[in-house]
Chain A
Amino acid sequence: GESVGLHLPTLSVQEGDNSIINCAYSNSASDYFIWYKQESGKGPQFIIDIRSNMDKRQGQRVTVLLNKTVKHLSLQIAATQPGDSAVYFCAERTYSSASKIIFGSGTRLSIRP
């Protein structure tokens, strides 16, 4: 089916620590995954993506890991800053529905000073 979900609805981390946000997906036909950040009152903002033929991709302070065996996706944010406070969504797309990106339920990340 088309189910993309998250393990935890909220995550609180200390400023400066690393954050790890997890996501499970159920469609083994998904070939492309994306992480979006949504700040209050704004639209989702692209963070990083990964194709199914990769298992890791790094950006600036962010890393996405993909484990196709267990259908698991994670977003790691290094040295978390106050500006990282937002809701994070994982999203997926299948090759057969290339113009349909489906969002998961979202994890709220809050930063403790």
Chain B
Amino acid sequence: EPEVTQTPSHQVTQMGQEVILRCVPISNHLYFYWYRQILGQKVEFLVSFYNNEISEKSEIFDDQFSVERPDGSNFTLKIRSTKLEDSAMYFCASAGTGNEKLFFGSGTQLSVL
């Protein structure tokens, strides 16, 4: 069964450093998403992406965040200058033509020290 893959599974970084989280969505999907989940809390929407542009973003997704689909297979989330409060599990998701049934990856656990 096709799946969304995310790398790395764990990322440790120093506060103020830039990080790039990588995702390979399901190959024929058109809609891409990033969510995050702080330990023990709910899954929070960050951004959705379609047709090479951001469709929607949340208040969390400020100027420190950016997304990119650099080629036909990868979807990345960049945090320019990480803060302690950016520590969370980051999930990538993709959806097909219906933009409804989201398939999630296993996440990247980001720890900012």
- Contact in complex: A103, B56 (CB < 8 Å): no
Interface residues of A in 33-56 (CB under 8 A from B): 34, 36, 38, 41-46, 49
Q: Assess A43 versus B106: contact at CB under 8 Å? Given A49-B101, A99-B99.
A: yes
Residues of A within 8 A of B58 (CB): 100
- Contact in complex: A43, B91 (CB < 8 Å): yes
Q: Is the interface of A mostly helix, strand, loop or mixed?
A: strand
- Asked if A60 is at the interface of the complex by the 8 Å CB criterion, the answer is no
The residue that A43 contacts in the complex, of B42, B48, B107, with Cβ under 8 A, is: B107
- Contact in complex: B91, A99 (CB < 8 Å): no
In the complex, which residue of chain A has the Cβ closest to the Cβ of B91?
Answer: A43
Interface string of B31-64 (1 = CB under 8 A from A): 1010100000111110010100001101000000
- Contact in complex: A49, B100 (CB < 8 Å): yes
Q: Chain B residues in contact with chain A, CB under 8 A?
A: 4, 31, 33, 35, 41-45, 48, 50, 55-56, 58, 91, 93, 99-107
Q: A-B pairs with CB below 8 Å: how many?
A: 56
Q: Is the interface of B mostly helix, strand, loop or mixed?
A: strand
Chain B nearest CB, measured from A6 CB (Å): 9
Residues of A within 8 A of B50 (CB): 99
Q: Assess A43 versus B105: contact at CB under 8 Å? Given A99-B31, A100-B56.
A: yes
- Contact in complex: A98, B42 (CB < 8 Å): no
Interface residues of A in 72-113 (CB under 8 A from B): 89, 93, 97-106
A-B contact pairs, 30 of them (CB 8 A): A32-B100, A34-B100, A38-B43, A43-B105, A43-B106, A44-B91, A44-B104, A45-B104, A46-B101, A49-B101, A89-B43, A98-B99, A99-B31, A99-B33, A99-B48, A99-B55, A99-B56, A99-B99, A100-B45, A100-B58, A101-B33, A101-B45, A101-B102, A102-B45, A103-B42, A103-B43, A103-B45, A104-B42, A105-B42, A106-B42
